[in-house]
Amino acid sequence: MIGVEHVSKGFGDTVALDDVSLTVKRGELFGVVGPNGAGKTTLLRCLVGLLQPRAGSVRIDGLDRRTQDLKIKRFSAFLPSNPHVYPNFTARRWLRMMADIYGLPEETRDQRVDRLLRMFDLAEVADKRVAFYSTGQYQKTTLCGVLVTGVRLYILDEPFSGNIDPSAYAVLKEVLPGLVREGDVTIVFATQILELAEQLCHRIAIVNHGKRIGVGTLEDLRRQADASAPSLSEIYANLVGRDFTEVAREFVEGS
């Protein structure tokens, strides 16, 4: 579904992605993990075409990201890390607008909007202006705005980040694998929550300092880390090359 080949990207003198290659298969739930500033968001932005790589290529469903952008957009949706909803819209209005832009039939659109609003506990505020939402409600609105599109490729930057409530978190944890299971849907998402990636993802890429330092299933990663570590956290520590227990101990003793 997605082919990233030798992609590099920099900002001035800073290298954000350095010769990254990976593939995502159709129907896969694919996680991207890594420390802050590792290049996860840059990678996702290259996937959705917001950034053009300095070198390398991105192909989605056989289409070149650079030249066939619009075709790709028709079957993909992106949740950015800092999404924006126009404050004068209501959640319902926003969702309908997104669905209309993706050309959903009216009946399907309205059903899906209602379902999402109920699912994420937004029904009560659905007709209020977004400007008056809490941060969590705002974030859920943006998430629903992506899910309402009904596309077959979702690229989500930190969909589980801190502001959504436990119910939404739990729902989303069910929705993502459900979408992949039920249809011809592929999902790529970035997250900092290793347990979540371990639990949900078919395959995971670990990036650090702009490089892909590991990719594959948990078993693959374990081999790549050359460790018998049972959990992704320990594999991650091995691949990133840091002993977090030691780092914490030093700080505590220093204090």
Partner 1 sequence: MDRAPTSFSTLFIYPFERDQHWVVRILAGLGCLAFVAYVLGLPASMGAAFGEGLRHVQSPAAQQRLLAVACGVVWLGGFLVLSVGYALVLFKDRALPQLWTMPLSDRQVYVRQLRAVATPALLSLAPTAALHIAFVVGYAGWDPHLLAGALLLTALQGMLNLLVPVAISLFALPVYFRLSLALLMATGAFFMWLLHYTSSPAEALTRFDAYLNAAGVGELLSAFPGTWTGHLFYTAFVAQEHWLPWAVAITLGSLALAALVAFLGQAAYTKDRVLAQFEGAVVLSGGRRTTPPDQSDMPVLPLGASLVDRLYERLLNRRERAIASLLFRRDFTGGIARRLRNVSLLAATTWGVVLMAPRVSLLLGMPPALGSGIVAIFAFYVYLGAWGLWLGDPRARTASGSSARGSRQEPLIEVVPVSPKEYHWVYVRACAFAIVLTGLLFLPAVMSLPVPPSFHLALALGSFVAPLGAAVVLPVLRSLACMRHPHRSPGGAFRVCAYWAVGLAAPQAGLGGLIVAVDPVGRRGDLVLPVVLLAAFAVVCTVVLYALWRIIVARHNYDVECEMGR
23: number of Cβ within 10 Å: 14
Nearer to partner 1, 128 or 173 (CB): 128
Structure tokens that stand for 136 in this block:
């969590």
Please identify which residue in 7, 16, 116, 194 interacts with partner 1, judged by CB under 8 A: 16
List beta partners, residue 207. 212
Give the shortest CB-89-to-partner 1 separation in angstroms: 6
CA–CA distances in Å: residue 249 to residues 36, 95, 156, 237, 246: 21, 48, 35, 16, 5
Which residues have C-beta within 8 Å of that of residue 164, sequence separation ≥ 6?
136, 139, 140, 143, 172
CA–CA distances in Å: residue 134 to residues 29, 163, 182: 29, 9, 32
Give the shortest CB-163-to-partner 1 separation in angstroms: 10
Residue in the block written with tokens 């030249």: 67
Please identify which residue in 42, 186, 191, 238 interacts with partner 1, judged by CB under 8 A: 42
Please identify which residue in 6, 21, 124, 127 interacts with partner 1, judged by CB under 8 A: 127
Q: According to the binding rule CB under 8 A, does residue 81 interact with partner 1?
A: yes
Q: According to the binding rule CB under 8 A, does residue 92 interact with partner 1?
A: yes
For partner 1, the binding residues (CB under 8 A) are 11-12, 14, 16, 37-42, 48-52, 70, 73-74, 77-78, 80-84, 86-90, 92-93, 96-98, 100-103, 106, 126-131, 133, 135, 138
